[in-house]
Amino acid sequence: MTGLLAQILACVVLADDDRARVESLDAELATILQRYQLDAEISLVAGERRRRRVEQVEAMRTLCSGLAHELRNPLNSAKLQLELAARRIRRDHDNPRLVAPIELAGAEIDRLTILLDEFLAFAHPHALDPIAQDLYTLVGEVLEQGRSFAAERGAALSLVAVPEPIVAEVDGTKLRRVVDSLVRNAIEAVSAGGHVTVSVVPVDGHVHIRVTDDGAGIPPDVLPRIYEPFFSTKEGGTGMGMSIVHSLVALHHGTIEVHTSPTGTTFDVAVPRRSLPS
Q: What is the pLDDT of residue 51?
A: 66
Alpha-carbon distance of 145 to 149, in angstroms, equals: 8
61 found inside a domain: yes
Which residues fall within 8 angstroms of residue 67, CB to CB, at 6 or more apart? Answer: 116, 119
Q: Please check whether residues 190 and 240 belong to one and the same domain.
A: yes
38 found inside a domain: yes
Asked if the structure places residue 181 within a domain, the reply is yes
pLDDT < 50 stretches in the chain: 8-9, 12-14
Q: Evaluate whether residue 91 is within a structural domain.
A: yes
Whether residue 82 is found in the same domain as residue 149: no
Return the pLDDT at 120.
72
Distance, in Å, from the CA atom of 14 to the CA atom of 202, rounded to the nearest integer, reads 58
Answer yes or no: is 278 within a domain: no
Domain shared by 184 and 249, yes or no: yes
Domain boundary among 124, 146, 169: 124
The kind and range of the H/E element at 134 are strand 131-134
* pTM of the predicted protein model: 0.65
Q: Is residue 110 part of a domain?
A: yes
Residues 135 and 120 in one domain: no
Helix (H, G, I), strand (E, B) or coil at 101: helix
Residues 157-171 as b/e (b if ≥16 CB within 10 A, e otherwise) read bebeeeeeebbbbbb
Q: How many independent structural domains does the chain possess?
A: 2
Position 277 in a domain: no
Among 80, 105, 124, where does a domain finish?
124
Q: Minimal CA–CA distance to 172: which of 136, 133, 117?
A: 133
Strand partners, 201: 208
Amino acid at 72: R
In the prediction, which pLDDT does 9 show? 46
3-state class (DSSP) for residue 264: strand
Range of the domain at 244: 131-272
CB 82 within 8 A of CB 105: yes
Helix (H) or strand (E) holding 31: helix 2-92
Q: What is the CATH number of the domain that holds 239?
A: 3.30.565.10
pLDDT at 240: 79
Total count of residues recorded for the chain: 278
